[in-house]
Structure 1
Amino acid sequence: MLTKLLKYSSLSLVVAVKRSVTNSQSNFHLSNQMKLLNDNKQFKKTLELFDKYTKNNTKTFSSYIITQALKACTHLKDLERGKTIHHHLILSRTKDDFYITTSLIHLYMQCNDIASAELLFNTTTKKNVTIYGAMMKGYIKNKQASKAIDLFNQIDKPDEIIINLLFNTCAQLGTLEALNLVKQVSSEIPKSFHSNSILLNALLDALMKCGDIKHAESLFDKSINKTLDMYGAMMKGYIQNNQAKKAIDLFNQIKNSNEVVIILLFNACAQLKTPEALNLVNKVSNKIPKSFHSNSFINTSLLDALMKCGDSKQAESLFDKTTNKTVEMYGAMMNGFNLENNPIKTLNLFKKMNVDNIEGNIAIFRCVIKALSQTGDYELSQSIIKQIPNSFFVNNQIQYALIDMWGKSGHVDLAKEIFEKLSQPNQVEYTNMISCYGLNGMGMQAIELYYKMPKEFLDEGTYVCILNACSHSGLVQEARSIFESIQMKTEKIYSAIIDCLSRASFFEEAQKLIDEYEYDHLPSIVIYMALLSGARNIKNAGLSQKTYDHMKKLFSQSTNSLTSAAVLLANTYASSGDIEKASNIRDELQKSGRKKKMGITRTVVNGEIYVSVQL
């Protein structure tokens, strides 16, 4: 009897061991297959394979298999499938398996389900640095940087990954408080961390985005082993801080640039918009490896640089030669055409996108709406606006672009309808609506909205718009009152009030403000153009001549602006009846080779735009 029992026990043990080995082998084989599929970005096939095995008891699945399944859900943003795996298959294992917990947090955060991620995090008893890192990364992804900092403060011993995430968080905030935290933490971390190039790169990025350029430059200069990523962080920071020239100087120190650095160079040149920048764009684009030209991001930044530097012909040639055109490339071209005040080409590109079945995104429709605002044609605008997906109309950028467009085409009622549907209008939407009223001679409505606007929204753009609205409606006293209430008066603000006063023939008062401005500023040609324009409006040739002569003394090098001023002067003489004097000025302009900008008139017939040029 004892012998039989021993034989039975031995047999049971052998079977159990065989099952365990079989399960382990099966788990190993399945996990390898799933990882291979995920590595090849075949996420749907990963889940199909996982589903095939879920018919068996999932308790035999290893954590690695579960995390591979959740990884596939995360990349596909399949929240429903991920929740099914969580609640029906592995709920009991999330309490003590930090691999699964971390994967679930990544899933929820990637799918913007912050509440589920927070619930899981708060109910997890054994939290390690990896779980904290997943939460911080998720908060950064969902633009909730303050929560990431709160979480950082709970960690006793942050590792290099956590420190890196903190710097990313502070870079997103870009505040003085964030900068102080960056400085504090960077001064306290172990010296060994400073040999981590990824960490240094994140630190440079944070310093730049928080506006401490000098500190970033000092750290960069002291670094012995500078990586391309570090150069890139500095270049990007210079561009963000409107110091494109420094970004170009840094580029010239790099021996072997990568694609990211080339993109940043083109972005810097696009910001400068100078002939020298254009020459550099052409030089670099001709030298980069041919393989780089297959990178759509490089092509997009190159097109953007060419357009912004004024070489639209070369940009069009490059665009036409490109076989695989992306939405971003279309956007770069359309934005460039809008900057050139050439809406026809923008709208033609949009038609081409429709023919090629390329779907537009928010950026594309913003460009289209901008082009429509330049045409000012109601029927054409209506026909194209109908093509915008309904889901886009809740986007702030689309909303304020539409307000601007309807305002410029004279349909204040449609602009107002959009504005009044906004639950909480932002600064741009308020300003655009004020501008809309101003353009259409509705100064009192503009003033009423201005006083309803939250004070924290008031900036230079808002002040200029409301003063212009007063100017177009002849509301001089209201403009004076608003101007006096402004604490930080800029060149544009002075120009707007002087335009208002000049239109109403208050030239002495306008001159006093010019003297006030020039007490602690250099003379501004924009301000004098406003004064000259006002003199033209009332046909005061004497004041126009006096102002123009003074401008020639002050701004002798500003050829283009003086040409525009001479045209205004000639028009003033012509409108006051002195045709001979007007002709003499125009003859002098022609002899000097200086040309005024051509006037363009656009007419829409049967949905097609026709252009006439006025010399």
Structure 2
Amino acid sequence: MSSAIPASYSPPITNLPRKPTPNTNVSLLVLCKNLQEAKQIHALMIKSSQISDTYSVSRLAEFYALSDHGSLKYAEKVLNSVEEPYPFIWNAVIRGNLIKQNPLKAILLYDQMLRRSVEPDHFTFTFLLKACTQLPAPATGKQLHSHVVKYGLENDSFIRNKLIHLYAISGSISDARKIFDTSTELDIVTWNSMLEGYADNRDGESLHQLFDRMPSRDLVSWNTMIAFHVQMGEFRQAIEVFRRMQEKGVQPNPVTLVSVLSAVACLGTLAQGRWIHAYIDKHGVELDENLGSSLINMYAKCGCLEGAIQAFQKTSNKSVDTWNAMISGLAANGQSLKALELFSKMESSGIRPNAITFSCVLNSCSHGGLVEYGVDYFRQMSEVYGIEPVIAHYGCMVDLFCRAGLFNRIEETIRTMPMKPDAVMWKALLGACRIHRNLEMGEQAGLKLIELAPDDHASYVLLSNIYAMADKWDKVHEVRKMMWKRGIMKPPGSSSIELDGVVYEFVVGDTAHSRKKEIYKMLGEMGERLKNAGYEPDAKQCLLDIDEEEVKQTSLGHHSEKLAIAFGFINTRPGTTIRVVKNLRVCGDCHSAIKLLSKIYNREIIVRDSNRFHYFKNGSCSCMDYW
């Protein structure tokens, strides 16, 4: 663990008045177990006139303001009862309001402090600037900055770091940098405050430059860099920074591990995730609710349910988030009924579900085709648990009906819900129209989707597919022309496979790999064996304006997931499970082909696409062709 002071640290209040001869009443305060006992000591101090002693009254105010057994109400009474309250008392009550998440009150107390002509000290400003970040209140922070200068405290390290943090989170990164550049002393906290500022403002170029300039780095510095890359979706870079951190001998903490597990989950790199789990076990790191949930999520997103279940069982003090992660993981991996069973266990264990829980449960019903179960759980939300459904829950219901092709119930849901449908709903409906070939409704949904999400490439691609299925190639060209005019680019389909800890990525028709001859030889063999098994390419899935049937079939045969599977076949022993991660939704033709390949080669093939997991085994898929 780093020994450096974190940027969020507040210094203890040490500016107490001079301590008099030890007094029993004040000493008894630390032994108080409830507010009533403290009030009895308060009464004794009044009776003995000790309340007029500056040190004693300061300690009483501190207890009321900061103790778990205190009361801010009584702390203020003490403050107001003192004719000339020492700054320590003001600071204690201000800090107490911060602890109780009442930053506005803390700032109002400062106003009273000035009105009573009490001069603030550096502790006062440290707490007040923290209050401004909690609100946030950048304008008030600027006024406080001028007061800091007025009282000659601008070089105080705690105040300087709080100012950098305040300006950074309010978007005034240039002001934060001015303070940084004019600081006479730059300690590790100052560097980290500026580093976090660039991360919060997503300024990657400046972030890396500052990180490279740092004379020394602590755990906070490395965690900031890793979290930034995860936030930006740069998952491989996050793992690379983690590796560099290990090379420097810096030991990760749970915060580090949560970030790295998030990156691994998004990449689907199971071997790396298992290494992190082994590190956790080796070093005896407790699986608290945050780390446990992250580990469950990682295994679930890597298609390893046994690992997720093990992590769930080992997690101490399971919170609602832990249960949610496991329910969601089961649903995404095609285990809808088990997800609903776990929800029942959650209810019986006394953990109260929240809105996110019901999103997970409704998704379980949607992926499993459990329509009436979903309708019942949706009813339970409000009637049993008093949770009013929001647009995300209505979106789950629309998706539930979409996957089942129940278009009348889709229209009814959209018509009766208390808000307008969002892009997610229209996308689900458009996808359903494509699967169930409801081309007329698909066109309406596609136009609505483009209206609501004009920058999302999927809006145009899905509508283009609808037109292609209807052989309306003039409309296909119109949609693609619209994309071109608006500068919308469809990302190329890519698939990755992890072998021996190394990730290999393929795109459609990929010829860049050093072993391309072997890959395409295996691809040819796969094609022949598929043909002998009765497989025929579904040229309708190649929704491009290509006239030649043979060219269409070649394009389908060279989809990225098939290349990744071919590479897996030639690099693993017979019977080894193949795991592939695809950035887009798997097409219907590939889905049909992979089902047959799992039977032909007697392999379990797990494909994670942008929608869900597909477990292919013995010629069938866990999604039951329902995705």
Q: Compute the TM-score of the two structures, normalised by the length of structure 1.
A: 0.65
Q: Distance in 2 between matches of 1:476 and 1:464?
A: 14
Q: Distance in 2 between matches of 1:587 and 1:480?
A: 28
Greater Cα radius of gyration, structure 1 or 2: 1
Counterparts in 2 of 1:193 and 1:382: CA distance versus 1, 3 Å:
same
1:480-514: CA deviations, max 9, x gaps? 8966985x854268549847965995876676565
Q: Distance in 2 between matches of 1:611 and 1:470?
A: 25
**Conserved? CA contact 1:464–1:493, under 8 Å:** no
> Match of 1:416, as an amino acid?
F
**Conserved? CA contact 1:270–1:309, under 8 Å:** no
Aligned to 1:85: 37
Q: Distance in 2 between matches of 1:337 and 1:403?
A: 21
Matched position secondary structure for 1:612: strand
| Within-5 A mapping of 1:132-531 | 132-156=90-114, 157-174=119-136, 178-190=137-149, 192-243=152-203, 246-271=206-231, 272-289=233-250, 292=251, 295-305=253-263, 308=266, 311-321=269-279, 322-327=282-287, 328-351=290-313, 353=314, 358-388=316-346, 392-409=351-368, 410=370, 411-421=373-383, 423=386, 425=388, 429-441=390-402, 442-448=409-415, 450=417, 452-453=418-419, 463-471=422-430, 472=432, 475=441, 479=445, 489-491=454-456, 494-495=459-460, 498=463, 502=467, 512=478, 515-516=481-482, 518-519=484-485, 521-525=486-490
Structure 2 counterpart of 1:572, from 539, 542, 546:
539
Counterparts in 2 of 1:232 and 1:495: CA distance versus 1, 3 Å:
farther
**Conserved? CA contact 1:270–1:306, under 8 Å:** no
Q: Distance in 1 between matches of 2:456 and 2:333?
A: 30
Counterparts in 2 of 1:198 and 1:317: CA distance versus 1, 3 Å:
same
> Match of 1:524, as an amino acid?
M
**Conserved? CA contact 1:303–1:315, under 8 Å:** yes
| Within-5 A mapping of 1:60-71 | 61-63=24-26, 65-69=27-31
Percent identity, please. 12
1:318-355: CA deviations, max 9, x gaps? 4224241322443332222344354453223224x17x
Matched position secondary structure for 1:155: helix
Deviation at 1:229, TM superposition (A): 1.1
Matched position secondary structure for 1:226: coil
Structure 1 counterpart of 2:616, from 604, 609, 612:
612
**Conserved? CA contact 1:435–1:465, under 8 Å:** no
Q: Distance in 1 between matches of 2:305 and 2:90?
A: 50
Deviation at 1:525, TM superposition (A): 0.5
Aligned to 1:10: none
Deviation at 1:99, TM superposition (A): 1.6
> Match of 2:42, as an amino acid?
I
Counterparts in 2 of 1:140 and 1:311: CA distance versus 1, 3 Å:
farther
> Match of 1:283, as an amino acid?
R
Matched position secondary structure for 1:467: helix
Q: Distance in 1 between matches of 2:104 and 2:442?
A: 45
Does the alignment pair 1:125 with 2:88? no
Q: Distance in 2 between matches of 1:257 and 1:106?
A: 33
- Root mean square deviation of aligned Cα: 4.5
**Conserved? CA contact 2:427–2:459, under 8 Å:** no
Counterparts in 2 of 1:145 and 1:211: CA distance versus 1, 3 Å:
same
> Match of 1:180, as an amino acid?
A
Deviation at 1:397, TM superposition (A): 4.0
Deviation at 1:401, TM superposition (A): 3.6
Deviation at 1:196, TM superposition (A): 1.1
1:217-238: CA deviations, max 9, x gaps? 3322332422211222233333
Q: Distance in 1 between matches of 2:275 and 2:74?
A: 54
Q: Distance in 2 between matches of 1:583 and 1:509?
A: 23
**Conserved? CA contact 2:226–2:239, under 8 Å:** no
Q: Distance in 2 between matches of 1:575 and 1:401?
A: 33
Q: Distance in 1 between matches of 2:23 and 2:168?
A: 50
Q: Compute the TM-score of the two structures, normalised by the length of structure 2.
A: 0.64
Q: Distance in 2 between matches of 1:574 and 1:478?
A: 21
Q: Distance in 1 between matches of 2:182 and 2:30?
A: 42
Counterparts in 2 of 1:173 and 1:317: CA distance versus 1, 3 Å:
same
Does the alignment pair 1:584 with 2:554? yes
Aligned to 2:16: none
More helix by share: 1
Q: Distance in 2 between matches of 1:587 and 1:379?
A: 35
Counterparts in 2 of 1:378 and 1:184: CA distance versus 1, 3 Å:
same
Where structure 2 has 5 or more consecutive residues not aligned to the other structure, the ranges are: 1-21, 403-408, 494-504, 511-526, 528-535, 566-579, 596-603, 606-612, 622-627
Deviation at 1:274, TM superposition (A): 4.6
1:90-120: CA deviations, max 9, x gaps? 3464876232122122125xx7x9xx42355
Structure 2 counterpart of 1:560, from 488, 491, 507:
507
Q: Distance in 2 between matches of 1:250 and 1:297?
A: 22
Q: Distance in 2 between matches of 1:375 and 1:117?
A: 50
Deviation at 1:515, TM superposition (A): 4.6
Counterparts in 2 of 1:160 and 1:495: CA distance versus 1, 3 Å:
farther
Matched position secondary structure for 2:317: coil
Counterparts in 2 of 1:248 and 1:419: CA distance versus 1, 3 Å:
farther
Matched position secondary structure for 1:211: coil
Counterparts in 2 of 1:220 and 1:371: CA distance versus 1, 3 Å:
same
1:263-308: CA deviations, max 9, x gaps? 223323434535444333212212215xx35x44445555555555
